[in-house]
Chains A and B, each alone.
Chain A
Amino acid sequence: MQLSTSEISELIKSRIKNFSATSEARTQGTVVSVTDGIVRVHGLSNVMSGEMIEFPGNTFGLALNLERDSVGAVVLGDYEHITEGDICKCTGKILEVPVGPELLGRVVDALGVPIDGKGPVKTKLTDKIEKVAPGVIDRQSVSEPVQTGLKSVDAMVPIGRGQRELIIGDRQTGKTAVAVDAIINQKGQNMKCVYVAIGQKASTIMNVVKKLEEYGAMEYTTVVSASASDSAALQFLAPYAGCTMGEYYRDRGEDALIVYDDLTKQAIAYRQISLLLRRPPGREAYPGDVFYIHSRLLERAARVNAKYVEKFTKGKVKGKTGSLTALPVIETAAGDVSAFVPTNVISITDGQIFLESDLFNAGIRPAINAGISVSRVGGAAQTKVIKKLGGGVRLALAQYRELAAFAQFASDLDEATRKQLDRGRMFTELMKQAQYAPLSVSNMAVTLLAANSGHFDNVPTDKVLKFESGLHGFMSSKYKTVMDGIEKTLVLTEDSEKEVVKAIEDFKATNTY
């Protein structure tokens, strides 16, 4: 027989001390039926919607349907031991999960229970998983950037702290890769991260955790996992649980980033629960409130003002704004963005990063479609230097696409058109970036400056990326002070611009790429 960690004399002593033996008054009900994780209960006249119900064997359920003669509840976890006639009790509590910095570096399930085998999580606080988002008075507009370290994202679809930016695309287009790269790049950026894995293979989640550990990102990250083998109820709840963990930082004047990977699976889990609860199916068999499950979740990602933070912390934190940035992921089928859930989430979020299989297969990775990817609020938050230099990228790519389609029919092109085509080809090549290799702001600025000033123009397309990495190496070894200056101030003064251009010319002269 093994001794469990909770069986320490001191612990038991304190618990005995705090135990009050009072009689309890409660409402109880009788289980009428158990089917596929859904329990129908007769009785429980005072139960609230969303209240936890205690079943025998220390199992809990969530009351979702309050009907005239019965209550429909979904069991959180195993339900095989619950039988008809079992007595269940109201708890008077809404579902809560542990929150706090103690969760960083840990992998937990949808209820906040650690599943990484690193022992119990010693959090001091718990918080409700369903909360109302901050109101308009408590908010502040998005003005600070989230650096994802991806050239194409930071230059073309910038994300601000407190923004909701959707990552959408077919399977195998690198959606998770973009999100994981964004998390890896938050090292030293004063950002806490939450990665919520919904309905994924346990092995995939394991790989993500391994990569995050490898790049030192687990120090500031919590992974909430509801894998494909977990019950639909847990898959449905995981995003809300993760959001509550992220809100802990937002409400205390810190910044947090949350990735929901992916919300399509959450909608599917919710559809399962709803159909089993016999709620009427609507379009694509989703229940009527499938829009609301996503809107209420994503509305909680926000930037709150200093007054809100001060009020929340009762004056302990002053003059600091807090933010929760959300990167929801949606998987489309055969590029169909007009399906129900994708259109819903597109309309809720503040922009989307659209990933395409064709681009991915053509070797353009991240496979971002620059034409239909947008960021509705990120422009205000973009770093000054990137804003100044990255403005031309989008335009060049847009013109290139138009010309490329046109040029297919033309036999001989004039000089200007050919130049524009070459430039577009160069920019497309330049926007490629390897996985797990986020760029710093200064490196990104140098790349963009070199491209804008035409230094890439006579570099062969297949050598563009080699030229870029060589240039970065050259800059960090020979012009460290200039680079550090850009990194620190995030602006490109006229002097430093001249210096960088000179450096690029120097590098080009070495001809070492």
Chain B
Amino acid sequence: MKIDEIKNTISQIFAMVELEFRRVIHDPTEMVTRAIQPILWLVVFGGVMARAGVFSNIIKSDYITYVTPGVILQSATFIALAYGILLVFERESGLLKRLLASPMPRFNIIVGRSIAGAIRGSIQYLIIIPLAFLVGAHLVPSLINLTLGYIFITYGLIGFTSISIAIASILKTRERFMGIIGAITMPLFFASNALYPIEVMPMWVKVIAQYNPLTYIISGLRNLLIYDSLDIALDLLALTFFNVFSILLATASIHRIIE
């Protein structure tokens, strides 16, 4: 690959990210309203569970702190997984036809939009983390850890956005798409370490949780934000597998959306 080609690839990928930024700036309502639910989880659910002292012998921190990464991921994952609806809209308008007839390779469309969706999702991190500090979560108050956490969660959400694009490409209509997304979000959340440690799960949920990418995002975030540890290599590796797999899957299926 020549330098020019690499430059063009990066420029095209970032055009897709820039597009998303500009849309959010024109209308940030969704970003704010989406944060309401996790805030309730954190304050009400987290508060009650903390007072009951649940898992106090396992989790090495208070429950509000423990659950913070989990509730961020709950709404962030939903945003990433719902991102594909945008492609369904773009399919109904002529935008996708135009994009697929443009010189931008399909791979660049997928990677660009997956990063865009991931950034849309990780905005939740930026809203909820300060609030978590306010309600007394004991997160590591280090700018480095917090920044690493942001990059890490964004990276982890790329794969979920790609999966969403692949699902949109195959299902094509908004009803079917939202039906599936609604059906997988909660199971994904419950079969992960978002609300409770893996140790307390029944065996069969444990098995699922180990194959659930959400588990690795949350575990990495906990290491960075709660335990002040950089031990995230395994999580990164798992998420890299997931991202590569999802991006390839989405690249292979995107053409189906306009057929």
A and B associate in one complex: no
User: Which residue numbers of B lie inside 8 Å of A, CB to CB?
Assistant: none
